[in-house]
């Protein structure tokens, strides 16, 4: 009868607790590691997605107010040569560091910025002529009623009709470009899109006086302690001697460990990719900055992160399973009570 009750308690109590602890430990190994996010976002595929034509075209359309049918191929090539892989990696790393500094309480709010200094330097130096020529090629001629310029929310950008591009560059754009670049700050804050105040991050401290990582780790320790106590008590209930108790301890640990180990293989399978695509298709990303190119970037980063996530599940499941097997063989080697 005691084995029956132990089995019921294992199914309803021990298994959920141990499985929850193992999956939580697996997740913590990468969610609280800033290097994981930096390495994931600095993958060549992710950096290449940040420097693709759709992403840059979205920036041009939003910042220069170009008409949808504008020829921006030459302008995109110039910007791609300026936005190098090293520049992209530096921006991504800074973004992640700012986020973790806020979560750890080192800064009061999360206000990421984009470093514009390399872009300003490139546009005022060797890339100036090529940039201005490509810019004028992308600008259509103004129609009657339009004001020449880079447009606004109510009017698309255009250039004066009947005026040669060379004349506009020499007499208009070149003299004005240094003044325009001087008015642009060295860092562009993403305030409207991504600023998170300290009040919005009130959830980050589960325990007053502690930052998010410390709160999560302390909560994880409490949950682990509860799971281990329940796991041990059910083994005491299951059998009167250590020959059976050790085997119960081993099997109760091995079964959730094997489940977590299989979860690691499932994470690397096509099933995880399927749900990523389903989630992105249903996510409301229309109002995010630089959408729809952002969808491709998120998808690329998610697939790049899957191997590390899967290995975390396999590692925790494998180590826990090894302890479970050791307990089982220890129990088998232990003599029965006379």
How much is the pLDDT for 284? 60
How much is the pLDDT for 50? 66
How much is the pLDDT for 297? 72
pLDDT band at 288 (very low <50, low <70, confident <90, very high): low
How far apart are the C-alpha atoms of 54 and 76, rounded to whole Å? 9
Q: Is 182 exposed, middle or buried (CB count within 10 Å of its CB: 0-12, 13-18, 19+)?
A: exposed
Q: What is the mean pLDDT of residues 233-247?
A: 91
How much is the pLDDT for 304? 81
**Statement: residue 75 has pLDDT above 90:** no
The pTM of the full predicted model, rounded to 2 decimals, is: 0.71
The better pLDDT of the pair 203, 126 is held by 126
Residue showing tokens 């088998």:
332
Q: What is the mean pLDDT of residues 170-198?
A: 68
Find the farthest-apart pair of alpha carbons in the chain and give their distance in angstroms, rounded: 107
Instruction: Tell me if 108 sits within 8 A of 198, measured CB to CB.
Output: yes
β-partners of residue 189 are 113
Q: What is the mean pLDDT of residues 172-192?
A: 72
Instruction: Tell me if 71 sits within 8 A of 138, measured CB to CB.
Output: yes
| pLDDT digits 0-9 by tens, 7-28 | 999 999 999 999 999 999 999 9
Q: What is the mean pLDDT of residues 251-268?
A: 92
Q: Where are the domains of the chain?
A: 2-33+208-333, 52-194
Share of the chain above pLDDT 90, in %: 23
β-partners of residue 114 are 188
Least confident of 65-74, 115-124, 304-313: 65-74
How far apart are the C-alpha atoms of 19 and 256, rounded to whole Å? 5
How much is the pLDDT for 145? 75
Of 52-66, 90-104, 219-233, highest mean pLDDT? 219-233
β-partners of residue 149 are 158
Host H or E run for residue 18: helix 15-31
């Amino acid at each position: 009868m005691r084995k029956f009750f132990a089995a019921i308690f294992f199914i309803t109590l021990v298994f959920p607790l141990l499985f929850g602890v193992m999956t939580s430990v697996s997740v913590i190994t990468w969610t609280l590691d800033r290097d994981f996010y930096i390495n994931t976002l600095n993958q060549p595929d992710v950096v290449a997605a940040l420097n693709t034509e759709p992403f840059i075209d979205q920036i041009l359309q939003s910042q220069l107010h170009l008409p949808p049918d504008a020829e921006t191929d030459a302008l995109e090539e110039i910007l791609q040569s300026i936005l190098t892989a090293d520049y992209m990696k530096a921006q991504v790393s800074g973004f992640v560091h700012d986020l973790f500094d806020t979560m750890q309480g080192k800064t009061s709010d999360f206000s990421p910025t984009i470093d514009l200094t390399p872009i300003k330097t490139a546009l005022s130096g060797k890339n100036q002529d090529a940039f201005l020529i490509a810019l004028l090629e992308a600008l259509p001629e103004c129609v009657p009623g339009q004001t020449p310029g880079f447009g606004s929310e109510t009017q698309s950008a255009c250039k004066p009709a009947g005026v040669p591009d060379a004349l506009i560059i020499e007499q208009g754009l070149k003299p004005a470009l240094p003044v325009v670049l001087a008015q642009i700050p060295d860092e562009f804050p993403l305030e409207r899109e991504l600023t998170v105040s300290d009040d919005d991050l009130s959830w980050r401290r589960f325990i007053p006086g502690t930052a998010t990582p410390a709160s999560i780790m302390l909560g994880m320790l409490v949950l682990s302690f509860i799971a281990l106590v329940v796991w041990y008590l059910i083994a005491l209930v299951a059998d009167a001697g250590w020959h059976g108790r050790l085997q119960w301890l081993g099997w109760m640990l091995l079964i959730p460990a094997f489940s977590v180990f299989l979860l690691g293989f499932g994470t690397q399978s096509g099933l995880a990719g399927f749900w990523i695509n389903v989630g992105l298709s249903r996510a409301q990303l229309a109002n995010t900055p630089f959408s729809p190119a952002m969808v491709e970037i998120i998808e690329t980063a998610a697939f790049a992160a899957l191997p590390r996530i899967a290995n975390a599940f396999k590692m925790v499941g494998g180590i826990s399973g090894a302890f479970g097997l050791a307990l089982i063989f220890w129990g088998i080697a232990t003599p029965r009570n006379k």
